Structure 1
Amino acid sequence: MIFPDKPDDPTRRVLKANGFRWSPWRGAWQRHLNESGRYPAQRVLKTISGANAA
């Protein structure tokens, strides 16, 4: 996942809790995109979208 700026602390906690790690080389938060990674990716997007909408 790529953000325009550094994500805030709560967003980074959600990413880390769902297995995402910061890749300085790619400039993105990433994890393997397989069946085990699809659901956490959807969960992160839902969580941070809800947090940003408030």
Structure 2
Amino acid sequence: DRLVLATGATPRQLANTADMDGVFVLRDPDDARRLRTAARAARSALVIGGGYIGLEV
């Protein structure tokens, strides 16, 4: 027997941040590429979220 439990996930976007530069949601490879490009040019960063992905960043 086998069981796959794939509950999925939807990132929560902070209110009024969809059009703001420098605000990222990280869920797929395209998001990661955009974040990497921005991080290379940044002097500092703020990570909001203590989930698995936020802690890995």
Higher percent of residues as helix: 1
Q: Which has the higher contact order (CA 8 A, sep 6+)?
A: 1
TM-score norm. by structure 1 comes to 0.31
Bigger-Rg structure (1/2): 2
Higher percent of residues as strand: 1
